[in-house]
Each structure stands twice: as C-alpha cells, then as structure tokens.
Structure 1
C-alpha cells in the first residue's frame, strides 16, 4: 500500500493480507529479548499521573487482542507495560554508571 492507496480493512482482511504477504513491516525491528515464562507473573499496573501524549502506533493484531480481551483500559495497560520496561532499562543503566 502507498500513502495514496489508503482504504478501510477489517481485522480478518488484515490477517489475510499479512498471511498472503501483502503487508510487510515498514522497518526492520530487532527481535524482542527472550524473557523467562514467569517474567510477568507478579506484574502490577501502576498509574503514573503524568500527562500523556497522543500518538499513532502499529502493534501486532494478537498483542492488541490480548490487551483488549482483559477489558476496559487496554491502552492504559499497554502504557503500563511500556512504563515498566522503560523504568527497568533506566534502572539497569544507572547501575552500570
């Protein structure tokens, strides 16, 4: 698809297009690090009362479905997971310094 070829598509249409190779990522992202199976077992959603910025972000369909399946507040939970990752990376970097 090009910027001029924008059209609506259902989730099933997108899955079909992905499976047939019509959709490809626009960038080559690094693969996520392997985490132990129990990594998120004790995770808690912590509400950080910081101002948020509206963005547009593409995520894998199964990731979005997972968060939506947990009910209302899926975007807040996704932000909390990202916050947890950022905090952990900052903590790791400060220990090295």
Structure 2
C-alpha cells in the first residue's frame, strides 16, 4: 500500500518519482500503438429513442424490479406482439 502524503499545492514541482515521463521511450511507442476505444461497442440491432406515456402504477412496478426496467418493458411489448 502507498503512504498517504499531503496534497501538493498548485505551482509546486511534482517529485520525479511520482509518474514516468510518458513522452519518452518506451512509453511513447506503447501509447502510439494502443487502440483508442471509446464508449460502448455498437450493437447490431440499434434502438430508437421515443417518448411513451404509461400509467404511473405500471411504470412504478417495472422500476421497482430494479435496473433494466426499460428493457423489461421492451420485452413485455415483444411478448405481446408475438401473441397477436
């Protein structure tokens, strides 16, 4: 574990041993080769943002089941479509 140190005041020099210089070799080569991955991978089946009005009690029940309530509503609608 690292020792707790007091915070460095702005404008004071940072001790050299705190972090390597990333502009020097071999760090610059490693950073140049690293792929840039931002955000979530694209899904093959994208979703469409929409607005829908639901009864408060229906929405409350889905939200009470925890995270993923929007996906559960989507699945409930898919199930309904499959039956009709």
TM-score scaled by length of structure 1? 0.40
RCO (CA 8 Å, sep 6+): is it higher in 1 or 2? 1
TM-score scaled by length of structure 2? 0.46
